Amino acid sequence: MEIYAYIIIALIIAAPILFFRSPYGRGLKGEWLIRWVIANKKNRVINNYIIEEYEGDSHQIDHLVLNHNGLFVIETKNISGRVYGEDSQKTWTQVLAYGKVKNKVYSPVRQNEAHVVGLKEFLPKDLPIYSCVVFAQGNTKYIKSTCTFTPGALRRYILKGKFQKQISDERIEEIYNLLLEHRANDRVSTRQHIKNIRTKKSDVENNMCPRCHLPLVIREGKNGKFYGCPNFPECKYTKNI
């Protein structure tokens, strides 16, 4: 019986270690870290905020921070290695194993820009909104971006950044309640959001527009051929061939 007890104890110890080494576990750990970073009595914070777009499509925002400086829309990334990217690039590069492994990742800056666009659909047009991408592991050395931060830099930016416009306490409460009201009225649950992500991934893999759900067509651009949505210019989705 003793050997079984040792096995059970080993499994109990190993389970959380294996979980936090998994992609989901690393992402969750990164989000918890950023929740601690942005926690401040001056901030009104909403985590895991889901908004609906494109007739049923949905976006999940990791964190929203509202204070006298404005609304900060935060996308959290907890990926290791060296990361190379610029604001203007559609894809960034993750380098692992001393350069032996290179992975292409969709630009988190562009990903977060879509979140900002969705929020602007129902928020007042004069509200200052700032897009922020934070790398939980602080590996931003090789990233050329004006809106990408380490956790410490994000905290300083939100609280002490030099912003021209300040909003009042009454305005903060008004915007905060509007955000809560919109989320409460949102028809998209977390389960539906995950389903939307899987549908979007399937559409992309099958050369379908993830927004319009129509077959992509080949177009010619200054950099060569690419896939584009047949609903252009209303829909500007593109995909490399």
In this predicted structure, the answer to whether residue 233 has a pLDDT above a threshold of 90 is no
In this predicted structure, the answer to whether residue 169 has a pLDDT above a threshold of 70 is yes
| 98 band by pLDDT with thresholds 50, 70 and 90 | confident
Taking residues 99-107, what's their average pLDDT? 92
Indicate the domain borders of the chain. Answer: 2-205, 209-241
The CA distance from 2 to 61, in Å, is 48
**pTM confidence score:** 0.70
Residue with the larger pLDDT of the pair 97 and 74: 74
pLDDT score, position 183: 81
Two tokens, residue 171: 């305005």
Residue 195's φ and ψ, nearest 5 degrees, are -65, -40
Q: Which CA distances in Å does 221 have to 38, 91, 172, 181, 201?
A: 42, 18, 45, 43, 24
Taking residues 211-224, what's their average pLDDT? 79
| Adjacent-strand bridge partners of 240 | 226
Q: Exposed (0-12), middle (13-18) or buried (19+): which is 129, by Cβ within 10 Å? A: middle
Q: Which CA distances in Å does 126 have to 70, 112, 172, 202, 215?
A: 10, 20, 13, 38, 38
Is 67 in contact with 172 (CB distance < 8 Å)?
Answer: yes
Residue 74's φ and ψ, nearest 5 degrees, are -115, 125
Two tokens, residue 139: 């590996």
Give the model confidence (pLDDT) of 51-85 as tens digits.
865 445 667 899 999 999 999 999 999 999 999 99
pLDDT score, position 19: 44
pLDDT score, position 94: 96
Instruction: Give the pairing of strands 101-106 and 91-96.
Output: antiparallel
Two tokens, residue 68: 């006298």
The CA distance from 211 to 203, in Å, is 9
The CA distance from 6 to 13, in Å, is 11
